[in-house]
Amino acid sequence: MTIAELLVHDTELDQFIEVMDHRLPSIDAVEEKITALHESFYFLLSKDFIPREYKKDIPGIFAQYLLYRNAERNLSLMAMVVPPKISTPIHNHLAWGLVGVYQGTQREIVYETIGEPDLEHNQAQLRTISENILEIGDITTLEPPHNDIHMIETISEEPSISLHLLGNDIGCQARHAFDQESNSVRQFTSGYVNAECN
Ligand SMILES: [Fe+2]
């Protein structure tokens, strides 16, 4: 049996979790879940609630720090810290979500697959949908199968930090990383710097 894990003790975060606990159970549609949390999520982005140890960049990689996940593991909040000039692979999430910039500036490229990916043979073709420059307070939403594939690069001189609220346990979820040049796809699990996956 799993239990909820709260790795940050802060009243603003407690209030956000209360809002989620109160609103989400009565909502089925992903679009409505996103709408119901958008304002509170935006408010949280402006609060200095992430402890210093979970804002630390790790040279060369994107670091994911778990802040909260519920017992059912269908809700997780994490901070992703990306050093300057470093990018994530092109990846999917396989759950609805809200992603907001907390520090620095990010360049995001959004993709979609052309046809069904052939996961058995690790093949997937992508087309680029949009390129976005994201500043502090900017929020993007994930609504699989739409807007679920992207890559993020830090373009500010300081590391970027984005806050990710996902409808799964994102660090422990087996998902996919894509390579647009070779039309290939592989399964990966991103993990958390500060929490285990069972
Ligand atoms: Fe992402």
pLDDT tens per residue across span 63-113 = 999 999 999 999 999 999 999 999 999 999 999 999 999 999 999 999 999
For residue 145, pLDDT beyond 90: no
DSSP code at position 181? T
Q: How many CB atoms lie within 10 A of CB 23?
A: 15
171 CA to centre of ligand 1 in angstroms: 11
Mean pLDDT, rounded, of the chain: 96
pLDDT exceeding 70 applies to what percent of the chain? 100
Q: Give the pLDDT of residue 41.
A: 98
162 CA to centre of ligand 1 in angstroms: 10
Query: pLDDT higher for 145 or 185?
Result: 185
pLDDT exceeding 90 applies to what percent of the chain? 96
Across the beta sheet with 97-103, what order do the strands follow? Answer: 5-6, 63-69, 76-82, 160-166, 97-103, 139-142
For residue 160, pLDDT beyond 90: yes
Q: CA 146, CA 92: separation in Å to the nearest integer?
A: 10
Q: What is the mean pLDDT of residues 179-189?
A: 96
DSSP code at position 73? S
Query: What pLDDT, in 10s, does the model give residues 19-36?
Result: 999 999 999 999 999 999
For residue 118, pLDDT beyond 80: yes
Q: Give the pLDDT of residue 198.
A: 79
30-45 helix and 11-23 helix, angle to the nearest 10 degrees: 170
109 CA to centre of ligand 1 in angstroms: 10
Q: Give the CATH number of domain 5-188; options: 2.40.30.10, 3.30.360.10, 3.40.47.10, 2.60.120.10.
A: 2.60.120.10
Q: What is the mean pLDDT of residues 122-130?
A: 96
159 CA to centre of ligand 1 in angstroms: 16
92 CA to centre of ligand 1 in angstroms: 6
> pTM score, two decimals?
0.95
Q: Give the pLDDT of residue 42.
A: 98
